[in-house]
Structure formats: structure tokens, C-alpha cells
Structure 1
């Protein structure tokens, strides 16, 4: 049954995603509001497909952040990359350069304000990332980063990547940790999803200006809170 649900989800979600991208490109010509409306439609379509077809729901714990903050989240599946856009107020997500280079989708992502990171680009790439991040904060939008750098299996707790500390220091805004457990229902190494509830637990804001080691330790502990509680 789960395999059938997953196949139906793919048949419903991905073709409509292609349509959304094709409509978002001309919408962007008309201005920010039409583009954002298409992005909102896309993430809500994902939400409807996940809930109605897969039986996956979202539970939010803690206070969702607003305004110019840095949200540092656990990353276990594709689910949270879209769901966090739905939950927050038009956040920009830090993503791999390769995704931003995808035809069509990558262009829409950059127009929306997503922040590409080129890990091999050196200082110039870092300056471009910081400039993009500062532009997002100037719009009073939050930034979402997955500081462990990649999707992990439930229970895995790799160290944070150095790019997170650089953003934290340069931007001078609070960090809100985000723990989640999407990997239980949306496994990383399987296309078959399982019904269940994904918890998004927003932690207490961490003020700017703290020493790097202290910040990283607090963020690492907070984003792995659901693993530790399991």
C-alpha cells in the first residue's frame, strides 16, 4: 500500500511541479507578488499531496520565527525543504549551487530569493552568498540553512559545516534551531514513503555575537533534540 501511495504521489506532485515552474517564469516578469503566489501554490500543492495521498502531516512545536532571523534546521528529506517555505513567511533557503543551476527550476529559485552556496568557490563565492543573504534580510524575510550540509538518516548527527558559522557571524541576527524527524516517514534511501506525523520543533532563539564554539554546540544540540528524545 505504501508503494502505491508513493507512486500516486509522484504522479500527482511532479507533473504539477513542472507546470508551476513554467508558469512561475512568466509570472516573475509581472513582479514579485505573482512569482511568490506561484511558489505558494507549489508548496501548498506539495502539502496537499503529502497529506491526502501519503498520509503525512505536520505538527509544529515552539514558536515559529518571523522577520530577519537565521533558521538552522535538521535535514532528513525533501519534505522539509518545501514545508518550511509553507510554514514561514517567505523564507529564503540556502541550497547547493547545483540546484540553482537546474534549468527552469533553478532560475525560479533564484528569482524567489534562494541563496546558492558554492562550497568550492572560495572567497568570491562566499561574498556572493553573504550579499544575497543580506538582501533577503533587508526584505525582513528569514533565511533557512541546513548546517549539517546534507540529508542524514534518523539518528545521524554529523558536525556542522563551517559555512553556518560564517553566516552567523557576518549577518549578526539571531539563530532559531529547528529539529525535525521527517526521515522516519520519508526515508533518504527509499522512494517509498510511510504515513505519519513529522514534528517541526522550533527552539529558543540564540542571540547574535556569541563565540563560534558555543553557538555551534547549542545549535547542534537543539536540531538533534528529536533524535535524542526518540
Structure 2
């Protein structure tokens, strides 16, 4: 049954994505915030379809910690799920992502319309310049900035190396950091065809002011995220502790 329900989800993705990708190209002349509202309709539809086909829902804790003004989101990255869900939870945002993702047919077109900050990970100096220049630009246009501090998806129960690019950019832009912990990988693992039913927990922490050194701020973000994860991880069927049992 898991395979069948997951296949239904992927079928919906295949059907809905190409029309929205074409739409993304057609609306490129529109203002960025208007493009965002149009393209994120795809996100809403796919999360609704995920709930219907796979029985996968989510609960948000700590909404009261979302500040009124612009901020940077530093979020745990376990699954493709949060790339969609965070757009529903937070104000309009832009992703910091590797430039290669924009070259993916259909999917990359939609990303392009969302005004991401696309960096070349192979050139650290250029990537840092791009972060600073485009970070200022997106902030001026009213967008929040989302960065996955570990740089890639990390399986549930594991911890990657937290990078300092996010804290450094937050310090340069003088905006608070909103840390986010979640356990999406326990239901939708990295590179997995199957999605298991259940409820993903998204926990939003109190804002962290980017004061001090990038290393100190990064450690503060990491400590909060990993400490919170320890309190609710293990609820899903794909957590290592559950599979071991």
C-alpha cells in the first residue's frame, strides 16, 4: 500500500509540474513578489496531494517566534518536503541553493521564478560575494532568506557540518536568525520513492541575534536545532532507532 500511495503522489507531481514550469517562464516579467504568489500555488497543491495520497501531515510549534520583520531562516534539512512546506509556514522567502539546481528541466524553471540566490559551491570567494550582493537585493525586495546550514540533506538521526555562511550573511545584513528543527526525514527520507503516513513536527525557535563571531552564532544555531531534535526525533518509521527496533 505504501508503494501504491507513493506512486499516486509521484503521478500528481509529474502531471502538475510541467504546466507550472511553463507558467514560471511566462510570468518572469512580473514583479518578484507576484511571481512568488503564483508559483507557490504549486507548493500548496503538492502538499495537499501528499496529505491525500500518503497521509503525511505536519504540525508547527513555536509560530509565536516568527518575527514581524525580515529575517533569515536556518533550518535542518532532511528531505525535499521542507523545501515546499516552509513556503507555507513563513512569509515570502528566497532559497540559497547551488546553481546547478536551476538547470534541472521544469523544476529548475520554477526555482528561477522564485528569485533564489544561486551560488557556485566550487568557488568560495565568488559564492560569498554572490551571497552578500544578492542577499541585500532580496532583502530590499521584501523577501526573507532561507539557508540549510548543513548544505545538503542529512538523514534523520544524523548531523552534518554546520557552515558559517548563513550567520555571516545575517551579520552583514543585520537581520535576526530564526532556527528551525524538523523530522521530515523520518517520513520522507532522502532520495526515497516511498513516503510514510504520519505527522512531521516543525519547531520554530526564538530568534537569535547575529552578534559576536560567525563561529559563535553558528554554534548557537546548531546547539538549539540539535537539542530540540533530540526531544522529538524517533516518532517516524524511518528513524534509525525505529528501524533497529
Please report the TM-score for the alignment, with normalisation by the length of structure 2.
0.87
1:27 aligned partner? 27
SS in 2 for 1:9: helix
Once residues 120 and 41 of structure 2 are traced to their aligned partners in structure 1, the CA distance between those partners, rounded to angstroms, is 29
Q: Report deviation, 1:103.
A: 4.1
Match of 2:189 among 187, 190, 208: 187
Against the structure 1 CA distance between its residues 92 and 128, is the aligned structure 2 distance closer, same or farther, given a 3 Å change threshold? same
Once residues 222 and 70 of structure 1 are traced to their aligned partners in structure 2, the CA distance between those partners, rounded to angstroms, is 15
Q: Report deviation, 1:70.
A: 0.6
Q: 2:5 aligned with 1:12, yes or no? A: no
Once residues 185 and 67 of structure 2 are traced to their aligned partners in structure 1, the CA distance between those partners, rounded to angstroms, is 23
Once residues 192 and 111 of structure 1 are traced to their aligned partners in structure 2, the CA distance between those partners, rounded to angstroms, is 28
1:210 aligned partner? 212
Match of 2:78 among 76, 79, 88: 76
Once residues 41 and 150 of structure 2 are traced to their aligned partners in structure 1, the CA distance between those partners, rounded to angstroms, is 29
1:51 aligned partner? 51
What is the count of residue pairs matched by the alignment? 230
1:79-90 map, 5 Å: 79-90=81-92
Q: Is the 8 A contact 2:74 2:149 kept in 1?
A: yes
1:34-92 per-residue CA deviation (whole Å, 9 max, x = no partner) reads 52232121110111111111111110110234432110000000000111112211111
CA RMSD of aligned residues (A): 1.8
Once residues 159 and 222 of structure 2 are traced to their aligned partners in structure 1, the CA distance between those partners, rounded to angstroms, is 8
Q: Is the 8 A contact 1:65 1:88 kept in 2?
A: no
Q: 2:149 aligned with 1:147, yes or no? A: yes
Q: Which runs of 4+ in 1 moved over 4 A?
A: none
1:144-185 per-residue CA deviation (whole Å, 9 max, x = no partner) reads 100011101111112212322332332221111000000111
Q: Report deviation, 1:32.
A: 3.8
Q: Is the 8 A contact 1:154 1:227 kept in 2?
A: no
Please report the TM-score for the alignment, with normalisation by the length of structure 1.
0.92
1:4-50 per-residue CA deviation (whole Å, 9 max, x = no partner) reads 11000000123201111111211223444552232121110111111
Could you tell which deviates more after superposition, 103-112 or 4-13? Answer: 103-112
Against the structure 1 CA distance between its residues 24 and 110, is the aligned structure 2 distance closer, same or farther, given a 3 Å change threshold? closer
Against the structure 1 CA distance between its residues 33 and 69, is the aligned structure 2 distance closer, same or farther, given a 3 Å change threshold? closer
SS in 2 for 1:179: strand
Once residues 85 and 134 of structure 1 are traced to their aligned partners in structure 2, the CA distance between those partners, rounded to angstroms, is 20
Against the structure 1 CA distance between its residues 52 and 12, is the aligned structure 2 distance closer, same or farther, given a 3 Å change threshold? same
Against the structure 1 CA distance between its residues 154 and 105, is the aligned structure 2 distance closer, same or farther, given a 3 Å change threshold? closer
